[in-house]
Amino acid sequence: MNSAIRRLAVAAIILMLALMANSTYLQAFRAGELNGRNDNRRVRDSQFSIDRGPILIGNTPIAESEASKDRFQFQRTYASGPAYAPVTGYYSYLYGRGGIELTQNAELNGSDPSMAFRRVVDVLTNRRQQGASVTLTLNAAAQQAAYSGLAGKTGAVVALEPKTGKVLALVSRPSYNPNELASHDLDKVAAAWKRLNADDSKPMSNRAIKELYPPGSTFKLVTAAAALSSGKYTPETKVNSPAQLPLPQTTVPLVNENGQNCGGSNNATLTIALRYSCNTAFGSVGMDLGADAMAEQAAKFGFGERQLPELGAVASQFPGDLNAPQTAQSAIGQFDVRATPLQMAMVAAGIANQGDVMKPYLVQNVKTADLKTVEETKPESLHQAVTPEVAAQLTQMMVDVVENGTGKPGRISGVQVAGKTGTAQTSKDRPPFAWFTAFAPANDPKVAVAVMIEDANIPRNDIAGGTLAAPIAKKVMEAVLGQ
């Protein structure tokens, strides 16, 4: 009997020690993770009683908390909801958080370790916990120009400051109203969530950074960069540019969109080939350089890397293990090349910034309620994609595209614009994607932009990057430049 009791006692002690160890582990190492879970309603009840900090553009709040007379005490509101929804995300009792509301949650609710002293002071002075403000890099005029430009269309716009990587505009349409999800009427919130997720237009999808698309001819900038960087090409090098380019290992040739040779020549210069966006010329260049050189150049512009952790952007893709025909197709942004609008804005911004691709960022700073700065983002170089000399050559070639070629709708009076159009084919049952990426002024760039139109509700034959996307990019650039 004593032996059995001893065994039971030992087992009980072991279980108690295991329980204590697990409790210590949870408190010491996983408390933050568990508190931050979207499905932790106990924590959420507590957090809804906190004066959550605002999300700002300059001194203007685009998301803030207002006192309410219900059990939650504070109501989260979004002044220009749909225009900023892809950035702010939502703050919902039932469905947690998205966007900046999610990734900057600890700062906004005041629980971040950097604000520990502030919390101690609040306790000692019997003051209610107050969250920090998060100031974004967005330019309000550019954001509105992008949002208005996409009215009635499905697509996205991203604008960057080339010298720093600041995100000046980030818009995706169709969009949604985060006020519906932040409501304290939980039945209405549930109905709105169900409706939004059942909508075939995917209003909650962030097309600017989380969807991948064939970039089409805008990718020819990457091909041109690889060509100029190889030392085998200059802007005046003549390249093979017939109406149809026979490809090895297949009977299907690569053709130019208009069915003609490049600008009246079967041997156009690289500048002319970019001006008229000749598929055969860049397919020929891509095969000459080889898949490895193309992949290396794409990686230098940021392909294969996730960017903008503030919103969780996906990585753009350049395919591997390419044969010659696939390399030719990839060189013109087709086959399995996939990019986000953010990525193509980075390509333009890198060229604009003398070949130096800056790391894009959206959060400018975080300040406590008493205006003490606890976080300030500094510009950071990501990759030197090309040399300054090659960047200067590409810039002049892109200026030629806007002044004399397919990018004429992107011209701004009194400002030299460098740009590249793109019309990416997908399948016969859906319209092409229309693209335009550009920067301005060409000699002292202040803004780089990429516009992608997924669907404009117009006939297929009327879809082109120059006619659809370039005018939107123009308005965004004008907004940044104060035109």
The per-residue pLDDT for 26 is 63
Structural domain contains residue 350: yes
Output the six-digit token pair for 184.
């304290």
Q: Is the pLDDT of residue 449 over 90?
A: yes
What pTM does this model have? 0.89
Cβ atoms of 226 and 294 within 8 Å: the answer is yes
Q: Is residue 219 predicted with pLDDT exceeding 90? A: yes
Tell me: the pLDDT tens digits for 278-321? 999 999 999 999 999 999 999 999 999 999 999 999 999 999 99
How much is the mean pLDDT over the chain?
Answer: 91
Instruction: Identify the residue with better confidence: 240 or 9.
Output: 240
The answer to whether residue 113 is domain-embedded is no
Residue 398: closest CA among 162, 194, 210? 162
Rounded to an integer, what distance in angstroms lies between the CA atom of residue 377 and that of residue 466?
35
Contacts of 447 (CB under 8 A, 6+ apart): 142, 159, 160, 161, 162, 168, 439, 440, 476, 477, 480, 481
355 pLDDT higher than 90: yes
The answer as to whether 301 is a domain residue is yes
185 — pLDDT class (breaks 50, 70, 90): very high
Question: Looking at this protein, which amino acid is placed at residue 152?
Answer: G
92 is catalytic: no
Looking at residues 89-108, what average pLDDT do you find? Answer: 95
CATH of the domain at 434: 3.40.710.10
Q: What's the pLDDT score for residue 283?
A: 97
Ordered alpha helix ranges (H), 304-408 = 324-331, 341-352, 388-404
Helix (H) or strand (E) segment spanning residue 257: none
According to the model, what pLDDT value does residue 424 have?
86
Confidence bin at 28 (pLDDT 50/70/90): low
Residue 428 has pLDDT above 90, yes or no: no
d(CA 346, CA 357): 7
Average pLDDT estimate for 470-479 = 98
Computed over its alpha carbons, how large is the radius of gyration of the chain? Answer: 26
Reported as a pLDDT band with limits 50, 70 and 90, residue 78 is very high
Token pair of 11 as six digits? 């087992």
Q: What's residue 144's pLDDT?
A: 98
pLDDT given for residue 119 in this prediction: 57
| Residue 101 forms part of a structural domain | no
Extended beta strands in 187-333, E state = 244-245, 254-255
> Is 324 inside a domain boundary?
yes
Amino acid at residue number 424: A
pLDDT band with cut points at 50, 70 and 90 for residue 333:
very high
- State the pLDDT at residue 116: 62
Number of domains in the chain: 1
Residue 172 is assigned to a structural domain of this protein: no
pLDDT beyond 80 at 335: yes
Task: Give the separation between CA 227 and CA 352, rounded to whole angstroms.
Answer: 18
CB atoms within 10 A of CB 116: 11
Residues 245-285 have pLDDT tens digits of: 999 999 999 999 888 999 899 999 999 999 999 999 999 99
Residue 313 maps to a domain: yes
| Per-residue pLDDT band at 430 (split at 50, 70, 90) | confident
pLDDT (mean) for 382-386: 98
Question: What pLDDT sits at residue 157?
Answer: 98
Task: Answer whether residue 457 shows pLDDT above 90.
Answer: no
pLDDT of 362 > 80? The answer is yes
Residue 176 maps to a domain: no
Is the confidence at residue 125, as pLDDT, over 60?
no
Residue 37: what pLDDT?
59
Spot the catalytic one: 111, 183, 217, 316: 217
Supply the pLDDT for residue 372.
Answer: 87
Range of the domain at 329: 216-364+376-481
Quick one: three-class SS letters along 154-200?
A: EEEEEEECCCCCEEEEEEEECCCCHHHHHCCCHHHHHHHHHHHHHCC
pLDDT > 90? residue 213:
yes
Kindly state the percentage of the chain with pLDDT values over 90.
76
* Average pLDDT over every residue of 106-135: 73
Band of residue 458 on the pLDDT scale cut at 50, 70, 90 = low
Angstrom CA distances, 412 to 294, 448, 473, stand at 32, 14, 10
Helices (H), 30-66: 31-35, 41-47
Average pLDDT over residues 441-462: 84
Report which residue type is found at 170: L
Least confident residue range of 302-311, 364-373, 427-436: 427-436
- CB atoms near residue 351 (< 10 Å): 33
Rounded mean pLDDT, 389-399 = 98
Buried b / exposed e over 176-201, threshold 16 CB at 10 Å, is bbbbbbbbeeeeebeebbeebeeeee
